[in-house]
Amino acid sequence: MIKKKNGFLGERAVILPPMIIEMEENDPLVSSLYITDIGHYPMAEHHHRVRQEAIDQYVLIYCVDGSGWYVLKGQRYEVKRNQYFILPAGMPHEYGATEGERWTIYWVHFRGAHAAVYAEGAQKPQEVKAAMNSNISNRNNIFEEILSTLHFGDGIEDLRYASSLLHYYLASLRYLRQYRSTVRYDASHSNKPFHTDKHTGIVDAAIHYMKENVERHLTLQDVLDYVGYSSTRFSALFKKETGASPLAYFNRLKTEYACQMLKTTDMHINQICYKVGIEDSLYFSRMFSKAMGMSPSEYRNNFCK
């Protein structure tokens, strides 16, 4: 596949060539829903796109951090963190990051016989906020699997798999209530259900919130606002339950996530740095080395062969 370079640090993208798109269009399974372009732009500043001539693809933009805007049918919409929208095929449009800010977005250009079903009702910003049953991290993992599949493979089986995953990914947004209705478990407690004890339950909720936002730069105040506790009380409770401060625990989650990507992807270290919501590669390396006893590159060389 062909990687797209737009100049954003840590960006990743795949643009499918016409030959591959023709394979998708002519396959009875893939033609129902298929990708033409897909990517992830972390902390993109001055991102701006104008399409005065309509394209024949639907465009999904899912903002996970920062803010942006778009114009459709002459109307301007503001987009905040944890919101997505889908621009319909065949309509001119314009979008970009908010002036003076950066947004982190997952984006997909897609077509197919069933594309309109998933795009229905999403011309206006749609909310995808973190909650006890949100499972945002799983959705992001689905996206990563699609991106990896299209990056490494170009056979019809790869395209069918990517198409199937796209159905699931878009359905997790379009049918949010159904996606969240399955019972979720907290992996930090050996896959046991969330605790019913009030204090332990608050810590469980905070950890879940951290996991759902592991790709962002969270402050302690963000966590406090979510659980509704004061700083002193919550920090003491959290350390009693986990043995670490909230921010130290959050950095541990980022390190674990980075280890996973070092093992399972070919992402450059600076891309992984941005993927876990850190824009300073030196800080990321120091954090990782302190936790793992070696640098990210040494970890990849020693454990990921």
* In the chain, where the domains are located: 2-180, 186-305
* pLDDT above 70: percentage of residues in the chain: 91
- Residue 5 pLDDT > 60: no
Q: What's the pLDDT at 197?
A: 52
> How does pLDDT run across 9-39, given as a tens digit for each residue?
788 999 999 999 999 999 999 999 999 999 9
> How does pLDDT run across 36-85, given as a tens digit for each residue?
999 999 999 999 999 999 999 999 999 999 999 999 999 999 999 999 99
Contact 2, 15 (CB under 8 A): yes
**Has domain 186-305 been given CATH number 1.10.645.10?**
no
DSSP codes joined into one string, the chain: -EE---S-TT-EEEE--HHHHHHHHH-TTGGGSEEEEEEEEEEEES-EEEESS--SSEEEEEEEES-EEEEETTEEEEE-TTEEEEEPTT--EEEEEPTT-EEEEEEEEEESTTHHHHHTT-SS-EE----TT--HHHHHHHHHHHHHHHHH--SHHHHHHHHHHHHHHHHHHHTHHHHH-S---BGGGTTBPPP-SHHHHHHHHHHHHHHHTTTS---HHHHHHHHT--HHHHHHHHHHHHSS-HHHHHHHHHHHHHHHHHHH----HHHHHHHTT---HHHHHHHHHHHHSS-HHHHHHHH--
Cβ neighbors of 23 (< 8 A, separation 6 or more) are: 30, 156, 159
Task: Look at 200 and 173; give whichever has higher pLDDT.
Answer: 173
Q: What's the pLDDT at 191?
A: 41
> Rounded to two decimals, what is the model's pTM?
0.82
Query: Alpha-carbon torsion 184, 187, 193, 196, what sign?
Result: negative
Supply the CATH classification number for the domain 2-180: 2.60.120.280
- Residue 188 pLDDT > 60: no
